[in-house]
Structure 1
Amino acid sequence: MDALIFILSRGGMNRFIQFKNKELAKFLGLTPQAVPYILKKLESDDLILRRGKEVKLTEKGIDECRKYYEILKSAFEHSLLSIRAVVVSGTGEGKRFLSIKEYRRGISKAVGFEPFRGTLNVLLHPQEVWKREVLLRKDPIFVPGFKKGEEIYGGVYLYPCRINGKKASVLIPLKSRHPSNIIEVIARENLRKMLKLKNGSEVVIEVEF
């Protein structure tokens, strides 16, 4: 579905369009090598038309996008975005940055709690990845970056939320290194311990609009 949304966003509803495999791959959080297989599957399912390197949505593909539009519309009307994901290991970058006092001070002031020194990394279910784009349309709380010595630290966007019912916040660095299917969540407590989570545990992130 995310590939259809990408094609739609590029104008592929009414005309043939062309794009690089790496552009779609980045949008999907996959490798460029996976793109030809995705496009072939969409074509075999009669969701897109292909003309050389150009693609266009079919009526069936447009109908699929309309279905997701209705889901989005419903999500906004009910003022609650619910995202399903599973817990995965992080790189340790979150712990390092959340140990820096300037970040901790800025985040504490922004969301009203002093964050645990570490983030919970979650992998969005494939059918949930599009919801990240919806999340990014919400006005975020911005914590500006700063310079410390010779190193420059970028700002971060915060989106207050609940994860499995517990108060938390989605954290998205201004210069995120994560693909679009990975989200970092912070809270006052160690979420892994408090919610008894391990890699593969199912979680639900809820964001009010």
Structure 2
Amino acid sequence: MDQIRYLKTLALLGCDQKPVKISVKDLESDLEASDKTISRNLKFLEEQGLIEREINPSGQMILISSAGMKLLSKEFADYKKIFHVKEHIDLDGTIVSGLGEGQYYISIDGYMDQFQEKLGFKPFPGTLNVKIKDYCFDLRKRMEEFPYVKIEGFSDGQRTYGASDCYPAQINGVCGFIIVPERTHYKIDLLEIIAPVKMREALNLKDGDEVKVTVGEIC
């Protein structure tokens, strides 16, 4: 089935904002499919966690889940790449210390090789961590609509390492990428930024300093 087509149709009916009462008949003309096919595919979307449904005698309420919206956002980002749409957003935040995990993961060959090939540079082994302001949360969500570079997950034979999405970004003229691991509980208020230089030293930054992170294809 075409998951994107179903999600797009549901979103246009308002299911991206709140649960909407929708019958299979409502979808037949848009999806050009039989009621049995539509019912089967809606059940599949629900099983995949892409929609939430509440079925009762009077009909069904449908809401696109966060996973479904993320799928639509990534599709939107791909179309922006195709049509060369360039835009940017500014996120205000504060420099904070990380847990030291960035240095370990970035230095792993399976990641480092992809960074060099796909991002065009060898990152400094560590991340600059920026905690964004509360009022930037909505803008941060928009970031997922932007073009990004996919870093694939891999296995070294002993353990599996997850994939990540990398969004181009800039702080005070220094270009890098915000790296967003594809894991369920990633904190939306924290940006982890990689660059070819140690950004703390290059920009003379310390914990507590306030910065503006410009996200988008501007470098």
Q: Fold match, TM over 0.5? A: yes
The whole-number CA distance in structure 2 between the counterparts of 1:86 and 1:101 is 30
The yes-or-no answer on 1:201 pairing with 2:193 is no
The whole-number CA distance in structure 2 between the counterparts of 1:97 and 1:126 is 28
Q: Are 1:80 and 1:208, in contact at CA under 8 Å, matched by a contact in 2?
A: yes
Return the letter of the residue paired with 1:190.
Answer: K
**SS in structure 2 at match of 1:142:** strand
Shift, 1:139, TM fit: 2.6
Shift, 1:174, TM fit: 1.1
Larger radius of gyration: 2
Structural RMSD (CA): 2.2
Shift, 1:176, TM fit: 6.1
The yes-or-no answer on 1:162 pairing with 2:170 is yes
The whole-number CA distance in structure 2 between the counterparts of 1:80 and 1:155 is 24
The whole-number CA distance in structure 2 between the counterparts of 1:141 and 1:195 is 25
Number of equivalences: 140
Return the letter of the residue paired with 2:201.
Answer: K
The whole-number CA distance in structure 2 between the counterparts of 1:199 and 1:160 is 23
* Counterpart in the other structure of 1:149: 157
The whole-number CA distance in structure 1 between the counterparts of 2:193 and 2:211 is 11
Q: Are 1:168 and 1:185, in contact at CA under 8 Å, matched by a contact in 2?
A: yes
Shift, 1:78, TM fit: 8.1
* Counterpart in the other structure of 1:132: 140
The whole-number CA distance in structure 2 between the counterparts of 1:128 and 1:9 is 21
Q: Are 2:167 and 2:216, in contact at CA under 8 Å, matched by a contact in 1?
A: no
The yes-or-no answer on 1:11 pairing with 2:18 is yes
Q: Deviations over 1:145-180 (max 9, x none)?
A: 110122000111101111122111110011265411
Paired residue for 2:125, among 98, 111, 117? 117
The whole-number CA distance in structure 2 between the counterparts of 1:194 and 1:113 is 16
**SS in structure 1 at match of 2:207:** coil
Q: State the identity %.
A: 29
Return the letter of the residue paired with 1:192.
Answer: R
**SS in structure 1 at match of 2:94:** strand
Q: Are 1:124 and 1:183, in contact at CA under 8 Å, matched by a contact in 2?
A: yes
Q: Deviations over 1:107-152 (max 9, x none)?
A: 1111111000001111001101111111011131101011012200
Q: Deviations over 1:19-54 (max 9, x none)?
A: xxxxxxxxxxxxxxxxxxxxxxxxxxxxxxxxxxxx
The whole-number CA distance in structure 2 between the counterparts of 1:83 and 1:192 is 18
The yes-or-no answer on 1:99 pairing with 2:107 is yes
The whole-number CA distance in structure 2 between the counterparts of 1:144 and 1:87 is 28
Task: Give 5+ residue unaligned stretches, structure 1.
Answer: 1-7, 16-76
Task: Give 5+ residue unaligned stretches, structure 2.
Answer: 1-14, 22-84
The whole-number CA distance in structure 2 between the counterparts of 1:126 and 1:207 is 17
**SS in structure 2 at match of 1:129:** helix
User: Normalised by the size of structure 1, how large is the TM-score?
Assistant: 0.62
1:176–1:164 distance in 2 versus 1, CA, 3 Å = farther
Q: Are 1:88 and 1:200, in contact at CA under 8 Å, matched by a contact in 2?
A: yes
Q: Are 1:147 and 1:153, in contact at CA under 8 Å, matched by a contact in 2?
A: yes
